[in-house]
Amino acid sequence: MPNLKIMLVDDHPVVRAGLRAVLTEQGGLSVLAEAADGAAALAQLERLKTLGKQVDVVLMDLQMDGMDGVTATSRIRAQNGPPVLILTTYDSDADIRAALDAGAAGYLLKDAPLPEVLAAVEAAAAGGQVLSADIAARITPEARANTTDLSPRELELLQLLARGQSNKEIAAELFISQSTVKTHLIHIYDKLGVDNRTAAIDRARAIRLIR
């Protein structure tokens, strides 16, 4: 396994300690940082960036006191941060879809075997998407495809974007604020797996969301 640096995000110190003990026993893995919620994780990533250090994979819980895992995942990916691997006890279809829509690189349950977790970390670091066997069996190809679906408003905004309109022009046409336009763009980028306007337009055209 390559030398991978991990961030643990969980609001239970005992869980973080257990994960840290297990992961650091494995050659090639080290825990670079920990956080008790999503907001703290974002702050940690920013601090590490100023120090010239980089996290390869974030292991993220879903439900936490403070910022939840879905919101944090969306913001990390919007900032072109490291891959986020969800590691949680929650396994509802709504939780899974929300995490994947937010840009999570994978979704595992905390009772997953250690080899599966380690393989998922390595795959996420390499840019792949991984789901635990139980989760994968419940997510049909059609449901996975729907994780990139845009809302009617997001699709409308993307159409205007493809016409070359600026954020200010889009805001005026849709009667919304420029900050709302930026928020929609973050969601669009997350769902399409891109990080800029040009890539979003190219991706949307490639999958025939727009012409």
Q: Do the Cβ atoms of 120 and 106 come closer than 8 Å?
A: yes
**Rounded CA separation 27/34 (Å):** 19
Instruction: Name the residue ranges covered by the structural domains of the chain.
Output: 4-142, 152-207
- Per-residue pLDDT of 32-85, as tens digits, reads 999 999 999 999 999 999 999 999 999 999 999 889 999 999 899 888 899 999
Q: In the CATH hierarchy, which top-level class contains the domain 4-142? A: alpha beta
Q: For 152-207, CATH number?
A: 1.10.10.10
Asked whether 157 and 174 are in contact (CB, 8 A), the reply is: yes
With a CB cutoff of 8 Å and minimum separation 6, the contacts of 151 are none
Its pTM stands at 0.66
Q: Token pair of 19, please?
A: 């994960």
**Sorting pLDDT into bands at 50, 70 and 90, what band is 137?**
low
Angle at which helices 178-192 and 152-162 cross, to 10°: 100
What pLDDT sits at residue 25?
Answer: 84
